[in-house]
Chains A and B, each alone.
Chain A
């Protein structure tokens, strides 16, 4: 029935976007994964509209025919938020990558543009601040739908703080421009909604003036606990670094085996700190931060290249896990900064107990953990162990005051933690919001709030508690 319905609209979709931009048959499977590969989706068809008008007509057609669909950017979600699980049509928005206008501190772009291209298209004295590690390729539409973060979140905020307005297409087919405003603004609800409430058609983004100087500081620590304490103490001095990242020994060893090799010292913890602002401000901040490092038993190091390689290693640390295993899970639970030392010790303990290598590389400044858990996708028990390990970490992090996701989204990966974090009434409110926006449940079903039954053992491990 479903397939019949979809095959029926093939010709109509092709008449909107052109035959070659509708993908059918086996090649649709290339759209069955995003950056989360534990589950293979089953798209019934893929449509790649070439401009906003085509996108609107495609979505309206799908809505009219009651066809479920998943809107997707460049497919780098780490939570599986764009994996079609029930034969949905995938609407790929990557071709909508235009810059529409730029004026003042704002730039208006299509949802398919890569994050890095926003700054590239901005005047030289401005930049787009949110920079997830995938910024070279991840799309703005996806960034908005995940409320993506990045290393500069600690000072400039995640995506939600840089979105001025979005154009969305709603489940009724209406196209609305929603702006940020003081009275019951509906803009933020679309940020981080993972495409479950509407589709992002374009966005006006906020640009920040580039700081006069940026200074990188690197410090090694013989214990993760000391490094965690230094993170807290830096903020106590009143300094808000523009980036504050931590890599633990496992991560350092992984990147040193990858193409991101940076000759990083083999230590328990490495802090990567960036300070920005006027020259005077930066040098004063540097003094304060240096003092903290010393007091917390750290030692500053001075890489020959000024630290470019270390930063690249940080940004490439996730996929660099490929040198250990061809797949990995990662979490992004935010915990209070004060809890970092205890949480990190707890994560290490869980790794030991489960016999799993856990590498930690994360946004320490905003307490956003990223334990990386490698697994071998062709061995079911390896994935099961990774999922169990991540569940243990998640339970522990939530107990320590954390939240299920700081920036990667809930997707299909973290559904069962929603039930743990929110109580019944809260979840009910969220589900009612979803059904107000999308009464037919046609927009990206199963994601964020779940509501789908497991379809195999992997989804069962992921969605159900033992």
Chain B
């Protein structure tokens, strides 16, 4: 029996799916995608899935949807090339810089969502006790957040090494079985016997699902928090995979311990619209999902949005909000000027 055979076609997943919400078409719904696999027909929907896997939380029959999509997808050469670049954040940074002004829709779209990139922060102390793993996008798009995380960990008395690399979630979601597996194997070697703190919460979720022993930054923060408070009012976005794996719970615990005032948005785990690299390849659907998300955020009345995953933060910033990571709240608070 294939994974698709566990689906009873009840449709409970429909409204959980961002691409269904903006198209209301069976083709772009989890149920439709599963059915197309079961019937063995090729359908556009397989490619339009944003891989947020929110449908898995809505599914009463426990269909392993993420695995199913991973299995049936075939990665395109363009996606493959981009992923190869992202595997080495230094290279990604140089590529980004040199591609400015290039007249390609893909490049233009990347620069539209990522207005600025910085060289990844390199840092290594002798016999480090903690590996800080920012994640590929975080390392180049949010260098300051990486720095804040580093400061926080160091303030707790640990020796740190930053490891700039890629967890392979993009590869996995786009169906690149070989490479996503290889990246996890590499990390397994690098992480062996070490304490790893992962800064991008969806990467934390993916690595954990792939059997790697990592701590999400929020979990680290929760265990190291002192009696400290932050006077701040925010709303919270729950990144999809972190939400699926329950990691967002610890983010929220930290927020609570810090005494931060939270005004909840509607459906905090609703897809941000970036979908990893999805926004590059399916701009039309991605933009509409971002609009829906922006509506939900807007109704909270807040500009400051806690987002622990870089792609989500980019999408939120693109829609005019001010995303901040837990690390920014913990270490960069004097920079924030909520008004």
- Whether both chains belong to one complex is answered with yes
Binding site for B on A (CB under 8 A): 21, 23, 26-27, 29-31, 33-35, 37, 46, 48, 74-76, 92, 94-95, 97, 112, 114, 116, 134, 136-138, 258-260, 316, 318-323, 326-328
Q: Is the interface of B mostly helix, strand, loop or mixed?
A: loop
Contact B60 A27 (CB under 8 A): no
User: Which B residues are within 8 Å of any A CB, using their own CB?
Assistant: 1, 5-15, 24-27, 31-32, 35-36, 39, 41-45, 58-63
A427 CA / B6 CA spacing, docked (Å)? 39
Residues in B whose Cβ lies below 8 Å from that of A74: 11, 14
**22 A-B pairs in the complex with CB atoms less than 8 angstroms apart:** A21-B25, A23-B25, A27-B36, A30-B26, A30-B43, A31-B26, A92-B24, A92-B25, A94-B24, A95-B24, A114-B15, A116-B15, A134-B10, A136-B58, A137-B14, A137-B15, A258-B61, A316-B12, A319-B12, A320-B60, A322-B63, A323-B61
Contact B8 A322 (CB under 8 A): yes
Contacts of A260 in B (CB 8 A): 60
- Taking a contact as CB atoms under 8 Å apart, the answer to whether B35 and A33 are in contact is yes
Report whether B24 and A75 are in contact in the complex, using a CB–CB cutoff of 8 Å.
no
What is the CB-to-nearest-CB distance from A400 to chain B, in angstroms, rounded to a whole number? 29
Would B62 and A33 count as touching, CB distance under 8 A?
no
Residue of B nearest to A326 (CB): B5
Whether the Cβ atoms of A134 and B11 lie closer than 8 Å is: yes
- 13 additional A-B pairs beyond A95-B24, A114-B14, A318-B8, beta carbons within 8 Å, are A23-B27, A29-B35, A30-B45, A35-B9, A37-B9, A75-B11, A92-B25, A114-B15, A258-B61, A319-B60, A322-B7, A326-B6, A328-B8
How close is A361's CB to chain B, nearest CB, in angstroms?
12
Kindly state the separation between the CA atoms of A136 and B267 in the bound complex, as whole angstroms: 13
| Residue numbers in B under 8 Å from A21 (CB-CB) | 25
Q: How far apart are the CA atoms of A136 and B60 in the complex, in Å?
A: 13
Minimum CB–CB distance for A223 against chain B, Å = 28
Is the CB–CB distance between B11 and A322 below 8 Å? no
Expressed in whole angstroms, the Cα–Cα distance for A321 and B9 within the complex equals 12
Bound: A112/B14 CA distance, A: 12
Query: Which residues of A have CB within 8 Å of B60?
Result: 258-260, 316, 318-320, 322
Q: Is the CB of A319 within 8 A of B43?
A: no
Most chain B CB atoms below 10 A, which of A76, A92, A259, A319: A319
Contact between A326 and B8, CB atoms less than 8 A apart: yes
Partner of B61, one of A48, A97, A320: A320
For B7, list chain A residues within 8 Å (CB).
322, 326
Identify which of A29, A46, A134, A259 contacts B39 (C-beta below 8 A): A29
Given A35-B11, A137-B12, also A319-B61 (CB < 8 A): yes
Q: Which residue of A lies closest to B63 (CB)?
A: A322
Chain B residues with CB under 8 Å of A138's CB are: 11
Interface residue from A37, A48, A136 paired with B24 (Cβ < 8 Å): A48
- Contact at A322–B62, with CB atoms within 8 Å? yes
Contact status B62-A76, CB under 8 Å: no
The chain B residue sitting closest to A31, CB to CB, is: B26
Q: Which residues of B contact A30 (CB under 8 A)?
A: 26-27, 32, 35-36, 43, 45
Minimal Cβ-Cβ distance residue in B for A96: B24
- Bound together, the chains give a CA A33 to CA B45 distance in angstroms of 17
Can you name the residue of chain B whose Cβ is closest to the Cβ of A317? Answer: B60
Question: Nearest Cβ distance between residue B28 and chain A, in whole angstroms?
Answer: 10
A48-B62 contact, Cβ under 8 Å, with A30-B36, A137-B14: no
Which residues of chain B are within 8 angstroms of A318 by Cβ–Cβ distance? 8, 10, 60
Q: How far is it, in angstroms, between the C-alpha of A319 and the C-alpha of B62 when the chains are bound?
A: 10
Bound form: Cα–Cα A116–B62 in Å: 22
Rounded to whole Å, the gap between the CB of A316 and the closest CB of chain B is 4
Question: Is B24 within 8 A of A323, CB to CB?
Answer: no
* Closest residue on chain B to residue A23 by CB atoms: B27
Q: How far is the CB of B24 from chain A (nearest CB, A)?
A: 4
Report the separation of the CA atoms of residues A92 and B27 in the bound assembly, to the nearest whole angstrom: 12
Which of chain A's residues have a CB closer than 8 A to the CB of B59?
259, 319
Are B8 and A321 touching (Cβ within 8 A)?
yes
- B-side contacts of A97, CB under 8 Å: 24
Interfacial chain A residues near B27, Cβ < 8 Å: 23, 27, 30
Question: How far is it, in angstroms, between the C-alpha of A228 and the C-alpha of B12 when the chains are bound?
Answer: 30
State how many angstroms separate the Cβ of B12 from the closest Cβ of chain A.
Answer: 6
Nearest-neighbor residue (CB-CB) of A97 within chain B: B24
**B61 contact set on A, CB distance < 8 A:** 258, 319-323, 326
Cα distance A425–B12 in the bound complex, in angstroms: 40
Contact between B10 and A76, CB atoms less than 8 A apart? yes
- CB-nearest residue of chain A relative to B32? A30
- In the complex, what residues of B have CB within 8 A of residue A116's CB? 15
Closest to B39 in A: A29
- Complex CA distance for A114 and B15, rounded to whole angstroms: 8
CA distance A464 to B43 in the complex (A): 36
Give Cα A243–Cα B298 distance, bound, in whole angstroms: 36
Which of B1, B39, B58, B62 interacts with A323 by CB under 8 Å? B62
CB distance from B292 to the nearest CB of A (A): 12
Q: How far is the CA of A29 from the CA of B35 in the complex (A)?
A: 9
Closest beta carbon of chain B to A296's beta carbon, Å? 31
**B62 / chain A contacts, CB cutoff of 8 Å:** 258-259, 322-323
Nearest-neighbour CB distance to chain A for B160, whole angstroms, equals: 38
Q: Which residues of B contact A37 (CB under 8 A)?
A: 8-9
Quick one: given A23-B27, A30-B27, A75-B26, are A327 and B43 in contact (CB under 8 Å)?
no
B35→A136 contact, CB < 8 A: no
Q: Which residues in B have their C-beta under 8 angstroms from that of A114?
A: 14-15
Q: Which residues of the other chain, B, contact A136 by a CB distance below 8 angstroms?
A: 12, 15, 58
Contacts of B26 in A (CB 8 A): 30-31, 46, 75, 92
**B12 close to A134 (CB less than 8 A):** yes
The 3 A-B pairs of least Cβ separation, nearest first, read: A322-B61, A319-B60, A319-B10
Task: Tell me the minimal C-beta distance from B247 to chain A in angstroms.
Answer: 18
Smallest beta-carbon distance B41→chain A, Å: 4
Q: A313 — nearest CB in chain B belongs to which residue?
A: B60
Complex Cα gap A320–B8 (Å): 9
CA distance A96 to B74 in the complex (A): 34
B6/A27 in contact, CB under 8 A = no
A383 to B58, CA, bound (A): 27
Distance of B8 from chain A, by nearest CB (Å)? 5
Which residues in B have their C-beta under 8 angstroms from that of A76?
Answer: 10-11
B44: chain A residues at CB < 8 Å are 27
Cβ contact within 8 Å between A48 and B25: yes
Smallest CB gap from B56: residue in A: A259
Q: In the bound complex, do residue B15 and residue A27 qualify as a contact, i.e. CB atoms below 8 Å apart?
A: no
Q: How far is the CB of B97 from chain A (nearest CB, A)?
A: 37
List chain A residues, Cβ under 8 A from B63.
322
Q: Which residue of B is nearest A116, CB measured?
A: B15
Which residues on the A side are within 8 Å of B15 (C-beta)?
Answer: 114, 116, 136-137
Chain A residues, Cβ within 8 Å of B9: 33-35, 37
- Docked Cα-Cα span, A24 to B61, in Å, equals 30
